Structure 1
Amino acid sequence: MKEIGGYLELEELAGEEYYKDMYRLNLGRTALLYLCRLRGCKKLILPYFLCDSVIESCRQEGIAIEYYHIDRNLIPQVPDALESGAYLYLVNYYGQLTDKSILYYKKKYKHIIVDHTHAFFQRPLPGVDTIYSCRKFFGLPDGAYLSTDASPVLPLSQDLSGSRMEHLLGRYEKDAASYYSTMLNNASSFQQESPKLMSRLTQNLLKGIDYERIIERREINYRRLDKYLGDRNPLPFQMPRGPFTYPFYYPKGIELRKLTASCKLYLPTYWNNVIQHAAAESVEYDYASNILPLPCDQRYSPRDMDAVAERLFAAIKDLEREK
């Protein structure tokens, strides 16, 4: 029996999601597991340059894994052919994987899965299984999209997200440091999650986002940072639509992160597991350690980007003075 009356809850928002016709799931990694079940995939060819949460989820699912390296242009170093039943997992690092490249891999290998975690605004290509993570681009507790022509016939329960909102609401009213441990505990809890439908709360929040404004703001901020840093940044990367971050390479990235944190410029390390396990001379170790993902998202103005560059240059100066 439906409840009627009582106190008011969150309103149903009147906007539209950016991806209205995709399958809505709870997390990027569980979207991958769900896709593998739909496809009957028993083996994945994964990059070494990948977070351990995806790897561990695949292991728990009983999916066999092989690995491949990337080169300094983020190009996969994979064999000319895949064994029968294997799928090639392509990560769109910092939005650098173009549609032309995706179509090349699709034609060559047929069985590919594209991870657009770093490229929310790059639309999927027909016939290409593609995964998106919502919380990497927006202030959301969870949420993922899956684009596939496989027919979902596996029933799923619906996720609940209300208990995951504390760190988001807390930072909105206070500061990041006060809720950092809450955020980490929240992220850690995802390891136990199975594939579920996206929660009603997350889907509703996705309807309230001004996507075109976000794309514009991210691109303006990216260009602002590039004005300061382009001449010093050796990475041959191009700005994608609605960029994830501004990736800046510095050869002592680990040390530089510590200095920027002291002036409240927090630069995450996305692949700590790679730093711990990869060979020190590998591209994967170098990029995980030394690419600094500078924030350029919709929270910030061009003047904030001026502050990012100022703090970064000050930290570099301090670090080089210590030599």
Structure 2
Amino acid sequence: MFVLFLASVLCRHGGFCIMFCMKKNFESSIKLNLARSCLRYVIRAYDIREMYVPYYICPVIFKALREEGCRIRIYHIDEKFFPAQDFGKEDFVLYPNYFGICSRNVKKLSSLYKNLIVDNAQAFYAPHVGLASFASARKFFDVTDGAYLFGCKKLLRGFEKDDSEKRYPALFSGGSSDFFERFCANEELLDKEPVKEMSYLTERILSSVNYEREAKRRRENFDYLHSCLKYNNELDVELEDDDIPMVYPFKVSDERAGKRLVSEGVELIRYWEGVHGDCYERELAHYLLPLPVSAKYEIDYMRKLVDIIKDEMKLL
């Protein structure tokens, strides 16, 4: 079954109006438990022995590559999140659609490198581009597992179905005050999981998601934050009309705002604090605040975030 989501999204902040059309052929995708499992699947499908991987990426990616026996070639990114080096025409290159705001980079890279693998873990709504791409459902919706792999040729062997029923109450039962601790506990469990197929429970939950409503709210929340914070944001954020971001990346060389947000109970998961060295990625790991724009939040919550940041930094 070919699934087409078509929606008109009106965002009236500053009179800005966007249209987006999302096309996802979920039935022809390969449904796995985790985004890192999708990458491992691609490595096996194409017998990849070496891959270029950005320094600024979730550490679980490095772990997955090492376990697959794939040699890691590190590359750095510039202030536009674009690779700071060129690659060979035949090289396998992994590129993350950072925060769901880098679709321009993805399009440009796909025109240069035929073996581009796009990590859309933070860009669920992004269309498939490249040799293969994968998206993480659990980064966007209330599920404990679930990832979609697009464009990849299929392996002959199958995989065990994930069993996620025990993880749901552990992660989603409880208040917001200890959610981060429950989230970390769930991540530790997932870190031990091999490649599996998406669980039946997660498939059922995802089949009932109102994707248009979720996308519309995310974009509205993002646009509101950007309208209020863009002149104080050290990142030059430029979205395509159909981009649906995971978070609003707010970079500021001042630690007060982040500490205040955490003290106010804001769910703030930093990316990725294990980055070291004298490089731009270290700045991102240290100073970038990924402000939540999830559809579960109303605009009033976005106002709260803006008020906290401006009050702490004494911004007008």
Note whether the superposition's TM-score is higher than 0.5.
yes
Larger Rg computed on CA atoms = 1
1:182 corresponds to: 182
- The answer to whether the aligner puts 1:96 opposite 2:101 as a matched pair is yes
- The answer to whether the aligner puts 1:259 opposite 2:260 as a matched pair is yes
2:9 corresponds to: none
- The answer to whether the aligner puts 1:121 opposite 2:125 as a matched pair is yes
Q: Match of 1:44, as an amino acid?
A: M
- The answer to whether the aligner puts 1:214 opposite 2:214 as a matched pair is yes
2:13 corresponds to: none
Q: Match of 2:48, as an amino acid?
A: C
Distance 1:306 1:27 in 2: 33
Distance 1:103 1:314 in 2: 39
- The answer to whether the aligner puts 1:130 opposite 2:133 as a matched pair is yes
Give the 3 Å change call, closer, same or farther, for CA 307–167 of structure 1 in structure 2. Answer: farther
Distance 1:261 1:53 in 2: 24
Identical columns (%): 28
Deviates further, 235-244 or 42-51: 235-244
Question: Structure 1 or 2: larger strand share?
Answer: 2
Cα deviation, residue 192, structure 1: 1.5
Q: 1:57 aligns with which of 41, 64, 87?
A: 64
- Residue by residue over 1:22-69, the C-alpha shift from the partner in whole angstroms, topping out at 9 and shown as x without a partner, is 110000001100111011111111000011111112112211111000
1:106 corresponds to: 110
Q: Match of 2:109, as an amino acid?
A: Y
Give the 3 Å change call, closer, same or farther, for CA 153–146 of structure 1 in structure 2. Answer: same
Aligned length: 291
What does 1:289-308 correspond to in 2, within 5 Å?
289-308=286-305
Q: Match of 1:105, as an amino acid?
A: L
Q: Match of 1:162, as an amino acid?
A: E
- The answer to whether the aligner puts 1:156 opposite 2:162 as a matched pair is no
1:5 corresponds to: none
Q: Match of 1:109, as an amino acid?
A: Y
Q: 1:309 aligns with which of 306, 311, 316?
A: 306
Q: Match of 1:94, as an amino acid?
A: F
Q: Which runs of 5+ in 1 are unaligned?
A: 1-15
Distance 2:67 2:60 in 1: 11
1:247 corresponds to: 249
Q: 1:75 aligns with which of 82, 92, 103?
A: 82
Q: Match of 1:247, as an amino acid?
A: P
Cα deviation, residue 303, structure 1: 1.3
Question: Structure 1 or 2: larger helix share?
Answer: 1
Task: Note if contact 1:117-1:133 (Cα within 8 Å) is conserved in structure 2.
Answer: yes
- The answer to whether the aligner puts 1:40 opposite 2:47 as a matched pair is yes
- Using structure 1 for the length normalisation, give the TM-score: 0.84
- The answer to whether the aligner puts 1:284 opposite 2:302 as a matched pair is no
Distance 1:192 1:19 in 2: 29
Q: Match of 1:91, as an amino acid?
A: P
What's the Cα RMSD here?
2.1
Task: Note if contact 1:158-1:198 (Cα within 8 Å) is conserved in structure 2.
Answer: yes
Task: Note if contact 2:26-2:148 (Cα within 8 Å) is conserved in structure 1.
Answer: no
Q: Which runs of 5+ in 2 are unaligned?
A: 6-22
